[in-house]
Structure 1
Amino acid sequence: MLYQADDRSDSSGLVVSGGSCWGSRRRQRQGASGVEVADLANNGLIAPGSMFHARPQRHREKTAVLGEDGRLSVNGVFSDYPSSAARAVTGGLSEPGWWFWLTALNGTRSLSTLRQEYLDGFDDAPERFGADTN
């Protein structure tokens, strides 16, 4: 498990990150869903060392690897967010990072799909994380 301090489980048994080594600024800048990549790892949807493949055909050969700390690494450079890892691939062009990264080279399952699976595990997901999960 990636988080250790201030983690808690809700009644569904899913781990909800209450604190992290990255501090509160990271939590404030997460986006509408309030979910971090590390939350997916904490709940067994992905594991450290998992490889992700860029979705756009022109970047298909590019990969990111999930680090032990819940960050994505592209060419050895760690990013706190899927979108910043995607920008590292595109040369700075903005990309929707949760959509950008696929779990298999020619697959359709993305980080966005995994995030939705995580959110579906909570009975109160819209109230807990906000209605926008895209």
Structure 2
Amino acid sequence: MDHYRPKSAIIGIDGPGYWWLAYVPSNYRLACGFCNSGGSQTGGQRGRRTKSNHFPLFDESTRATDEHCDYEKELRVLLDPADFRDAHLLGFDLNGHVHRRSDAPRSDVETSRALCRADETIRILDLNRELLVEDRKTKMGEINKLVPLLMSPLSKQVAQEIIEGKIGLRSDWSAAALEALRGHPQVAEDLVSPSHQGQAGPTVPAPKRAVDLTDLMLLISAGSLKAGFTLTATHDGDQVEATVLDDGRISCRSRIWSTPTSAARAVTGQEDIDGWAFWTIRVNGIAVFLAELRDEYRHQSLPANHESSQDA
């Protein structure tokens, strides 16, 4: 159990944390020791701290600084596990990796800042570290093995009781188990309770986005940008490469990111880096920063038959 808004300090911010919320129950969240104070590991090597005292905002002018401020007005980046609307933003693939749900609309501030709250939360908390991925994959595999048993009158009741236990809100990896069950719509409807349905969150359309990587692939002429093109950058004297997928997401070091900024921060470990000014691509043989291309094409219209997706 620890604080959602850190009480003593905030990484990247001078001054104290949310000291007046130190003993307020609504600021407490369940947290594992790794997430709160351990630090991520890659290849067995200790890396940066994860949640710890991180609490970034989209706009620092909204940050509450004392007990007289309304912290509910903060434009927070980190998802809140106690807010079902935030929880709905996360989904899982069959290999156990967590990602932003493609059907979840973006907020105005995410669109305007070209930053994905889900991606930043996944990055800061290292939610795709190996142990978590393996445990989710195992749980999802258990659900997939139980579903065929629902088709037999002899095993249906037992299988249903086991599945209901695994997707129960108090069960470990229940969100991943529920995601696996929803992959079987012929049986999911009977097993998903109203409490799970309530996790659906808002479905209002997202605002039209600013230019993103998918737009650039559509706008730049002569086929300069096609799915699979490479982004490059230099960090600590080494060249870093990433691949842009056909949906505009970025694959870098075996992880998938929705925005250039989250990908750049994952590579560098720097919390204030702008990915559009970090990554370059080669256009007509010349290395160009993404920010230059974005600015060049910002005011151009997308093809008439292209429906703007919701990923910024």
For residue 109 of structure 1, give the secondary structure of its aligned residue in structure 2. Answer: strand
- Bigger fraction of residues in helix: 2
Gaps of 5+ in 1: 1-20, 123-134
For residue 24 of structure 1, give the secondary structure of its aligned residue in structure 2. Answer: coil
Q: Specify the alignment match of 1:50 in structure 2.
A: 229
Q: Specify the alignment match of 1:84 in structure 2.
A: 262
Q: Specify the alignment match of 1:129 in structure 2.
A: none
Supply the distance in 1 between the matched residues of 2:266 and 2:251 (Cα, whole angstroms). 10
TM-score (norm 2): 0.29
Check whether the contact 1:59–1:90 (CA below 8 A) recurs between aligned residues: no
- Residue type matched to 2:266 in 1? A
What is the deviation of 1:25? 1.6
Supply the distance in 2 between the matched residues of 1:99 and 1:52 (Cα, whole angstroms). 12
The higher relative CO (CA closer than 8 Å, separation ≥ 6) is in 1
C-alpha spacing 1:23/1:59, structure 2 compared with 1 (3 Å): farther
Write out per-residue CA displacement over residues 68-113 of structure 1, whole angstroms, 9 at most, x where no aligned residue. 1110111121111110010111025331111100114xx5511111
What is the deviation of 1:59? 5.4
Q: Which runs of 4+ in 1 moved over 4 A?
A: none
Q: Specify the alignment match of 1:70 in structure 2.
A: 248
What is the deviation of 1:121? 3.0
Q: Specify the alignment match of 1:39 in structure 2.
A: 215
Q: Specify the alignment match of 1:111 in structure 2.
A: 290
Check whether the contact 1:83–1:94 (CA below 8 A) recurs between aligned residues: no
Supply the distance in 1 between the matched residues of 2:296 and 2:263 (Cα, whole angstroms). 21
Supply the distance in 2 between the matched residues of 1:35 and 1:26 (Cα, whole angstroms). 16
TM-score (norm 1): 0.61
What is the deviation of 1:40? 0.8
RMSD over aligned Cα atoms: 2.7
How many residues align structurally?
100
Gaps of 5+ in 2: 1-101, 114-208, 302-312
Q: Specify the alignment match of 1:102 in structure 2.
A: 280
Larger Rg: 2
For residue 62 of structure 1, give the secondary structure of its aligned residue in structure 2. Answer: strand
